[in-house]
Structure 1
Amino acid sequence: MITVLSGGTGGLKLIQGLVNFVEPEEITLIVNTADDFEWLGLYVSPDLDTAIYLLAGLLDEIKFWGVKGDTFHFLEMIKKYGYEDWFSVGDRDLATHLHRTMLLRKGYTLTNVAALLCRTFNIKVKILPMSNEKVTTFVKTEKGTFHFQEYWVKRKGLDRVIGVNFEGIKQAKPAPGVVESIKEAAGIIIGPSNPVTSIAPILRIPGIKESLESVSTKKICISPIVGSGPVSGPAGNLLNGIGVEVSPFGVASIYRGLIDEIFIDKSDETFTERISSLGIKVICANIILKSEEDKTHLAKLVLERLEANQ
């Protein structure tokens, strides 16, 4: 079994490549849920939904969120009533949020809901939320402190970041199956997701980081940073905000002691010596996943490294 830790875009693109070589039933995906929030009374779980839509063949892969071909009649109407429309939810996407909210109100856990959605769409990859408890990412900026969705979607990630806080993290517990999937994995991958707001919340759930540290299974990370900037998203601003160098070395320093190897882009070979000094083996490859060929090629290389002795 391969276990993958992932947030939004990068880690899921890698999953698209992995399923070409590994049976979906042999992949467990642990997903960040600290981006979750309530919108118009509905429980929204952006990273979980993106994973489910992707593996169900429903994802709008141009935007890499929402349902492809969706309409926005509800959003247009709710705006007429004076509600904000900065969070762009399509009509079919809205049905998922409504369904989840109704199930949660009936006493289902987020793990239960994810499993039911996977069953509905015949998804064989095991998708697990990091926790069933509420954890919320708040981004502290010069203009104030905002929920991650407000910082990134509403405010376009333009405010200078000066800190990040995960409310509720100390009280949260790993969702059922999360620790087991780490301890029983034949290989563990930290996807090329934002290390600050996608992967850090997963690792800070009490018991998850400790489980990673305790297993002898090979652990590999793919850098979401190429050169001095992110492949996509706000990772650069967030790394700056917590005082970490925006580079593959900065990413490697965050995961020091947790990973054995890191994939960095072939254009970043000059970072090899610095990263190696952290005790992490460096593999240079094309890590910018623009095409299906890119995803397949990187997934093949990662699996080869997981199977290698050193």
Structure 2
Amino acid sequence: MELIGKLSIYVLVIVLAASMLEAFVLSRMHKGTDKAFDWHEVWISLADLVGRKLLAFLPLSLATPVFAFAWEHRIHTVTTNSALTVILLFIGMEFCYYWYHRVSHTVRFFWATHAVHHSPNQLTLSSAYRLGWTSKITGAAMFFTPLVWFGVRPEVVLAALSINLLYQFWLHATWIPKLGWLEYVLNTPSSHRVHHASNAAYLDANFGGVLIIFDRLFGTYVEERADEPCRYGLTTPTTSRNPIVVETEHWKSLAKDVVNAKSVSDAVGFVFRPPGWLPNGEGETTEELQKRAKRGDKAIEAS
């Protein structure tokens, strides 16, 4: 455990150093241009990181008792002492991560936390560690419970998830081009730029962690196009430079909608339906935004 703790510190230092170096270079490159670098985005990401590290000391995780129950009733005990077992764990982790990530975009309760990660209006390496303060409270890690139930120790599952997230650090770069045939197998910076884009054509796509194969399998893969430059941030951009506001604005709007709901079914809908859902069907869900964009394209073509 002491070795793992030291490795975590070393990794954190490398991640912070790399993101600060990128920020410095990009700020120099784009100085005085319409792509001027916004250091406030970096500071908010750092505040998010510090907040999560402090909250980690509090016993707030909903996943902990669920993992304990799954481990107690596991159907097998997996030992990661062979290459085959590690490969199966990797694929299982990818599968669970895909669905965790997809649900985080399609269920507003989980989106209230995940939206923080998508709030930067510029995509940089520092965006990678802006993950939201409330993931432990919402029990997001419970999506990986099947791995524990199959017999993988909870600490191994969490370690594998940490490695998965660490891989994704380099994906938050705008300066890395497409990587040829690797685009068919791996999640790459190009694929992840699409994931972070707020263009209607790019919404809710490319949910993979290390691999992109589940997106291709389940129909959520969208390729980055030269004729459709990525516009980063949320469909309704976050403009506040206050980290507290950034962390809580989606929870506040969710609570407001639930309190003002005209019926219990509407209140439940606000919690569990996609972000942007409205009872009258005239909201701004991904499906609705994409339909409007297509109608707009057709109108332009007709004119």
TM range (shorter): under 0.3
Structure (1 or 2) with the greater helix fraction: 2
Structure (1 or 2) with the greater strand fraction: 1
TM-score by length of 2: 0.24
Q: Which one has the largest radius of gyration?
A: 2
